[in-house]
Each structure stands twice: as C-alpha cells, then as structure tokens.
Amino acid sequence: MEPRKPSVEELLNKAKEPARKAPAWHAHYRGKVSVALKCAITDYQDFGIWYTPGVAQPCREIAEDPEKVFQYTNKGNFVAVVSDGTRVLGLGDIGPQAALPVMEGKALLFKYLGGVDAFPVTVDTKDPDELIRTVKLIGPAFGGVNLEDIASPKCFRVLDELRREMDIPVWHDDQQGTASITLAGVLNALKVVGKDPTRATYAVIGSGAANIAFVRVLLTYGVPAGNVIMVDSKGILEPGREDLERGKEDNPYKWDYAQRTNAERRRGGMAEALQGVDVCVAASKSGPDVINPEWIRGMAKDAVVFACANPVPEIWPWEAEEAGARVIGTGRSDFANQINNSLGFPGIFRGTLDVFARTITDEMAIAAAEAIARTAEEKGLSETYIVPTMMEWEVYINVAVDVALKAIEQGVARRELSKSQLEERAAQVIKHARQETEILMKQGHISQPPNV
C-alpha cells in the first residue's frame, strides 16, 4: 500500500512548526554560540604563558614573519559570518540586529558540521563601499569570510572586490554555496535519468544571487552557455530586453547572461523557457502555483525539476511528478532530495582552512559539488536519493579533502598536505566538534530545549 499523501494543510502546518518553537528555544539559550577555551589551564602560572609576559614572544615572531600567525593563533580556523541584513532569508531588509539570529545559526552549522569557529558579524550599513571597507579592516583576525544575506545586485560587487583585494578566502554562500549544492544535485539527477550534463538543456527560473552564481559555475563545469535559458520576474533573459540594457551598470551580470545564454533566442516567460528542456532549476518566489504543472508536461522526457523556494516550493513535488518529472528536489527536509547549502559550506571551509588557502575558486566549488555527488552515488542513487542528508557526516570529510586538494593543485594553498593527512585532519576536527557538544549536553552544561 502506498503511503498517504499529506494534505496541503498538513504540509503548511508542518512548515510553520519551526517558527512556532523558535522564539522559546532562542530565548532559553539566549543565542546559539559562545566562545570556549581550547588550551589547558593547569595552574595560575599558565596565565603568564597565554597572556603577558609570555605572549609577547609569539607576537614578536609574527611581526617578523606574518605567516606565523597561522602557527601561533586560531586565525586559520576563524571565519567571520558577515551580513548587512538587507536580504535575510525570506524576510528581506530587516536590518543587522534582526539578522543576528540567522548569522548565529550559520555559525552553529559551521562548528557542528565542519569544526569551524565562526563568528556572527552584522554590520550597520547599507553602503557597499562601507561594507567592503569593514570586512577588509577586520580581515587580519580571520582565516576566511562568509558573506550572508546581502541584497542583490550589490552582493556581486561586494564579493568580487573582496575576493580580489583580500588574501583570505571570501565566500558568499547565497551565491557560491547554492551553486555548488545545486550542481551536485543536477549531476546526480542526470545520472539517474541517463543524460549528459554538458549536453542537457536548462531552464533557470529566478535571476537573483543564487541562480546567477549557479549558471556561472555550470558554465565553468562545461555546459555551453547557449544550453541555458534564464528567467527573471519580467521574462526570459535575451538581448532584446531593453530594461536589462538600461540596468547593466547596476547589474552587469544579468545583461551579460542575456547576451551569452539562450542560443535559441526564446522570448516569453516560464512556460516558454521550460518547453522541451531537460532540467528546471527554480529559486524564485515561494509557491505553490508559481510553476504550472502544464509547463512541466512540456519539458523533455525524464525531466529534472528543482523547486527550491522556501518555505513552499514553486510547485508541489507530487504535482511535478504527476506532470512527468522523474527527479524532483526542493529546499525542504520533509521531501526527498533536499537541495541544502548546509551540505556544502562547512566542508568547503574545512578544506580551505586546512591548507590556509588564499581564496575559494569556482573550480574548488565544483570539486565540492563532485564530492557531494560522489558521496551519494557510492550509497546508490535513485529518483528519491540524489544528494546526502546532513546526518551523513562523511560528506563533510569528502568535501573538505577534495576542496583542499583542488586548492593545492591551483596554487592558492599556503601549505600542502597529502590526501590521507587531509582526511585525518578533517575527521578529527569535525568529530571533536560533535563530541564536545554531546559531552556538554550529557553533563548538563547545555540544557535540553523547552517543551513548547
């Protein structure tokens, strides 16, 4: 007997459950992250080593050889999670204080999933130049920067300038992170249906930060630009769009894609973009009924549909399946094939930090995508299993190793480690972070959340 499909009301109620519990849980803990010591304190005399006067000696050595900062401090495992609060989740421009719970949540995922010590840094400015300057000024304390929830199109400029001007990796998870996990899902979905990703055709619904970066990574992977059709709120991106040409100073990325993609020069909207294509990747507005089942019927045989809007996908998975899609992914954990950034960034930064890399290249993001895809493939792919879940912790080790090796190969790593050394390092650090949390919970130092 097939399991009963939940009603729309049941699904919506389930989607609202985390929001119902969140205020009480957040108030109970007053946040989600704190600073913990990592060095031993054996007696009172130790303070003279960790602080004055003993600390002066490593300070002198770093002044003479700045690279020693990675040897004597935790810089190589510190990441700043930076946001101006201008585009927070589905909430929009809510400001830096209201964005803080999200950045703390990101720091929690960094630590528990990747063993990375991440700090929320919300900045009280909407000026991209001030934001860029602020990140550069705090850069010496960190081994990497994760930009988060910054409005488009300024997020592109902020990322590009910081990547160019800083000697530590700067990453915008809404761009590169989404691109990496989406590519992983696409690669495995196309394996399931027996199609070559470099010959498949794609309709990309939504032209914000996530999909702009996804298309860039897709093209770097080897997909011809002409095989991609992008759609924004006004229709298909194509050279005849005068509004895109007028706005090319503010958003040159969309104008560039209007010239390079869409070899057939299609015009229209989502319906026309989806006609006959192999893959639909949607990151647009919350549904349902944003994507019509009839449009899915018009896609190629054995179509792949990723409807990734939250909390409700652009089309319900069962509607996409009934319309002929063979593999369906969403951004939700209660459906099969959750396309979730959390599968990527903890391991990506773990590998990046372990070799003290100076940047994270698109090729490193592709290496992460391939590692995510391989982890799932080794367990056995199916229509309902194309990417691992967050509980399969080996994915973070695999991602860390492959990203680090790619950084070494591309010459952006400050130190070189072997594959076995990288595996041992990632496993040890990630396992320690998890066990530390478990011990604190077991001993009551972290209490159980309230029952609400």
Domains in the chain with CATH codes: 32-171 (3.40.50.10380), 176-330 (3.40.50.720), 342-356+366-442 (no CATH)
Q: What is the pLDDT of residue 389?
A: 94
**Mean pLDDT for all residues in the chain:** 95
- pLDDT tens for each residue of 266-294: 999 999 999 999 999 999 988 889 999 99
- pLDDT tens for each residue of 38-58: 999 999 999 999 999 999 999
pLDDT for 12 beyond 80: no
State the SS3 of the chain. CCCCCCCHHHHHHHHHHHHHHHHHHHHHHCCCCCCCCCCCCCCHHHHHHHCCCCCHHHHHHHHHCHHHHHHHCCHHHEEEEEECCCCECCCECCCHHHHHHHHHHHHHHHHHHHCCEEEEEECCCCCHHHHHHHHHHHHHHCCEEEECCCCCCHHHHHHHHHHHHCCCCEEEHHHHHHHHHHHHHHHHHHHHHCCCCCCCCEEEECCCHHHHHHHHHHHHHCCCHHHEEEEECCEECCCCCHHHHHCCCCCHHHHHHHHHCCCCCCCCCHHHHHCCCCEEEECCCCCCCCCCHHHHHCCCCCEEEEECCCCCCCCCHHHHHHCCEEEEEECCCCCCCECCHHHCHHHHHHHHHHCCCCCCCHHHHHHHHHHHHHHHHHHCCECCECCCCCCCCHHHHHHHHHHHHHHHHCCCCCCCCCHHHHHHHHHHHHHHHHHHHHHHHHCCCCCCCCCC
Q: Does residue 195 have an active-site annotation?
A: no
pLDDT for 347 beyond 60: yes
Percentage, residues of the chain above pLDDT 90: 90
Q: What is the pTM of this model?
A: 0.93
Q: Does residue 16 have an active-site annotation?
A: no
Q: What is the pLDDT of residue 2?
A: 55
Q: Which residue among 5, 16, 38, 51 is the active-site one?
A: 51
Q: Which residue among 75, 106, 195, 254 is the active-site one?
A: 106
* Mean pLDDT of all residues in 405-434: 97
State the pLDDT confidence band at 250, using cuts at 50, 70 and 90.
Answer: confident
